[in-house]
Amino acid sequence: MTEKIIENFKLSQICGSGQCFRMERIGEDTFRVLAGDRYLEARQQGMRCTFSCPEEEFAKFWQNYFDLEEDYGKYIRQINPRDGYLTRAAAFGDGIRILRQDLWEMIVSFLISQQNNIVRIRRCIGNICEKYGEPRVNFRGEPYWAFPTPESLAPLEEDELKDCNLGYRSKYVVRAARAVVSGERDLEQIKGLPYRKAREELLQFFGVGEKVADCICLFALHQLEAFPVDTHIRQALEAHYKRGFPNRRYRGSRGVMQQYIFYYELLGAKEERIE
């Protein structure tokens, strides 16, 4: 077990922020996280967090995964105090961090996310992991499944993942796997590219549009210049930034601000309107 005191870190907010789909609440203050072929349980009470892994594994993988070396207080302090909307959004989601997730997993996850809701996305990803991922056993001796590799998905027929409830997205995922396995798309090369070039490369995958490319850049490549625009973000921009979002002020942190806005629109703004 590893115990840490962490500021600006809330597992519940990260879980509900729409950036990861293999993280779920399993108790009042406990969450399960699957990443690649790894398994973690994390419990949080205030700023005190307990992780179900040795210090060595935490330092080697999870510390980077949760982006714990970064001071997120600096992003909040960067917000224009006259921007009441963004100030409220950041205060509401002040425990969100941009996870550093696997590129392949994010490509598949956000291909599946199109015209989909979070509950169904989680179910679809769980289905493909159980059917095509390598079986593993956690520290309790319970089974779980690694995320399926491109090699495990490339031989499938284009419609075969419909059995996992992917619908028309099945062909997107299978074609992406084939592109990676054939060498048509080089994931390692994409990891080394700056934001604009990485985005261009990701747009070459069949089924990847601008929003999906930006989500992958933000949540896999940790390119904080990315600012994915979906329905929630578009509504916020139209309501609060009629002259456009102040990109210059938030250069290098736009993706963090996007998450504050997205989470607030998803949960906080609704609560505010009800009150």
Active site residues: 211
Closest CA to 130 of 154, 112, 148: 148
Q: DSSP letter at 59?
A: I
Would you call 32 helix, strand, or coil by DSSP? strand
Q: What is the C-alpha to C-alpha distance for residues 169 and 243, in angstroms, rounded to an integer?
A: 35
163 in Cβ contact with 118 (< 8 Å): no
CA diameter of the chain: 55
With 0-12 / 13-18 / 19 or more C-beta atoms within 10 angstroms meaning exposed / middle / buried, residue 165 is middle
93 in Cβ contact with 259 (< 8 Å): yes
